[in-house]
Structure formats: C-alpha cells, structure tokens
Structure 1
Amino acid sequence: MARPAPLIDLTPEQRSLLEGLSRSRETARRLVRRAQIVLRAADGEHNKAIAHALGLGEDGVGQWRGRWANSQERLAALADQPKRLRATIEEILSDRPRSGHPGDFTAEQIGQIIALARETPPPPLTHWTRQDLMREIMARGIATTISASTIGRFLTSGGPHAPSHPVLAPSRDQGRDAPPFRDTHSPVQK
C-alpha cells in the first residue's frame, strides 16, 4: 500500500507568493510548475491528479511536495520577513547543485578566447589554427594550459557568443588537400 502524501499547509503570505510565482511570465517555467504543484497539494489534490493536470510524472510531483513539506518549519520562521520568505521559497523550489567537476575555464576566459580567435592573427599568419591559438592564449596569460580540442569546442559550441562562421584555418598537419575546418554546430554554413 502506498504511503500517504505529506500534508501541505500554507500561510496566507506563502499562498500569495506561490500564486504570484505560478502566474509569472518572468519566472523560469520549472519554478512556475513547482509553485503550481505546491498550491494544488495545499488544496488537497493527490499526486496522481496533480501529475495528470500538469503533464508531469507522479514521482516528480511527490518530490516537490516532500521538499516543501520538509521546509515548512523553516518557512514559518520567516513569516514576518516577506523578502527573505520569497527568496527561501524560490530556493526550496529550485534545483539543488549537481555533483561534478567544476569547469576549468571561467566565462571570462572563454570570452577572451573567442575574442582572440576573431582578431586578425599576426604576420606571417593569415588565419588562426588551433595550435596557433593555443600558443597565443598561453603567451597572453589567458590560461596557463589549454588543449587544441578545448579551443575547438569553445569556438564551435554554437552558443550565442560563438561566431556563426569558422574562424580557424585548417591545421598545418592536415596538408594541402584537406578540406577546410567546418563548424558543424553552426546554423549558417557558407
């Protein structure tokens, strides 16, 4: 037999903040959905009904209901502090940090690498290769070490800061008959 879902009891302030989040067009969609889960749970709906109504999985609904239920004492302590209450509600309904190794390069370093790749290379070079960029990045002190494949990944990521055209020349190791470097992730190919 399934265990009963934890009961959710909202204060008027909590309900008001959750209703605002659930209707917000400026809040991340996942936060809107989670606020809707908590509101429906507080209205007495079962996880299965909430999941069906919102198009979610029953386990996910149970997870957010449980997280809210486990935080009710913490939330009650903030009843007279509306700004902290809102921040705590958003924290409770947000994803927890995920495990994993932090990136080796900061956003600033990646931006500098992309900016460097857009610069005209010094003579006698006519185009940047990954190897040339690697040497220049280390010479300028942007990074103490970086691989050619990492540079290529940054430049072909297709992200909003990446150029929409290839910025690298073919590697000197590829020989004359090798096709030019192609950015396979970019939406525009010339």
Structure 2
Amino acid sequence: MARLSAAPIVLNDSEQAALEKLVRRPSTSQQIVLRAKIILRASAGEGHGDIARGLGITKETSRRWRQRWRELDDSELSVSERLEDAARRGAPAKFSIEQLTHLYALACESPDKYERPISHWSARELADELVKQKIVESISARHVARLLDEADLKPHQSGYWLHPPPTPTLKSRSTTSARSTP
C-alpha cells in the first residue's frame, strides 16, 4: 500500500517572514530554529524524507511538526508560540502562592519572634514552624531548602553584616623614621 504524500503547508507572507526571522536571529533557541526550518522546507514542497535528511532529523520529527503546524494554523497563537513545546501533564503544584509567601516571610523573620531557641533558621526548623502554624499540612526540610534556594533566600545569613562591625581607627603614622633621628 502506497503512503500518501505529506500534506502541503501554505504560509502567508507574515508567517514566512516571521519564520525566516526566527531562523536568522542568533538569540533564538536551536530547538525553535529547527522547527522553523522544518515548516519553511515543508512550505517549499519538500517531503518528510527530504526534510529529515537535510536537517539530520527523523521523519517522525518532520511529520510531528508539520502536523502540529497544521493543527495550530487556525489558532490565535503567534508564529513563535506555535513552535513552542506543547503543555505537558504533571503533578499539580503542592503548595499555593500564599503558602510560599508565608514560608518566605517566616524565613526573613527572627526565630526569637516565634519563641525558637535558635540564632537563625534552618530548613528543618522552618519546616517544623510551618507545620506548627498550620500553614502547610506537611513539608520536608529538603523541600523547604529547595524552595528557599529557588527564591535565593538564605535565612542562615539574615541579619549578618547589616551594620558592619566598627573598624578601629588607624593611628596616623609618624613623619619621622627611626633612621632620621640622631
């Protein structure tokens, strides 16, 4: 049974120009450039095999992006948005923005305010305090550490060097040296 030829892609002038601009722009990710080249070659009438050989990809990749382009052709998405990765399924976020905000605020506060007998927060202490205040049901110290790292917060360094320690004033040097005295 013979395979059907690849469905043709027809680009309007603005789409053609936008794709060519993406290919030429040095700041465009190589993933997007490759996808733009696939669409440009497909619009020039090349088949999956020719595109695959010319770009060093598989026929399946060529087929996938040609099909994706045709599916999104009627959408309101821009050219660059049509070349982006499709949304993937994954686990929903475990903590809300409000809970994260409470974590960050807590990390910036002094442990003394919460009657903790420590000088600075650790990830373990923050996790315990979040559960104690019923901000979250449960959270591991490691996850707290990751969240703080992503936010570039370092509660173990808070308060340090806010006011540098006083430096002793240097005594002015004498203008006469030991050699110059008789």
TM over 0.5: yes
| TM-superposition CA deviations, 1:105-132 (whole Å, max 9, x none) | 2467547636755765335114545442
Task: Choose 1 or 2 for highest CA Rg.
Answer: 2
Q: Deviations over 1:15-74 (max 9, x none)?
A: 1111112222333432222111100111122222322333333212111111223344x2
One of 109, 125, 128 as aligned partner of 1:132: 125
What is the correspondence of 1:124-163 to structure 2 with a 5 Å cutoff? 124-138=117-131, 143-148=135-140, 151-156=141-146, 161-162=151-152
Distance in 2 of aligned mates of 1:33 and 1:108: 40
Q: Which amino acid aligns with 1:55?
A: G
Work out the CA distance in 1 between the residues paired with 2:65 and 2:21.
18
- C-alpha separation in 1, matches of 2:24 and 2:14: 16
The secondary structure found in structure 2 opposite 1:25 is coil
1:92 aligns to 2:82 (yes or no): yes
- Match of 2:78, SS state, is helix
Q: Say how many residue pairs are matched.
A: 152
Partner of 2:93: 103
**Separation (CA, whole Å) in 2 of partners of 1:118 and 1:55:** 52
* TM-score after normalising by structure 2: 0.63
Change (3 A) 1:118 1:33: farther
| TM-score scaled by length of structure 1 | 0.60
Whichever residue aligns with residue 62 of structure 1, its letter is R
- Checking the alignment, whether the CA contact within 8 Å between 1:40 and 1:50 is kept in structure 2 is yes
- 1:1-190 to structure 2, matched below 5 A, reads 1-72=2-73, 74=74, 87-106=77-96, 109-110=99-100, 113=103, 116-117=106-107, 121-122=111-112, 123-138=116-131, 143-148=135-140, 151-156=141-146, 161-162=151-152
Alignment gaps of 5+ in structure 2? 157-182
| Residue aligned with 1:50, SS | helix
Q: Deviations over 1:133-187 (max 9, x none)?
A: 123234667x332322xx4134247965456x996xxxxxxxxxxxxxxxxxxxx
Distance 1:88 1:54, change over 3 A: same
Fraction of identical pairs, as percent = 30
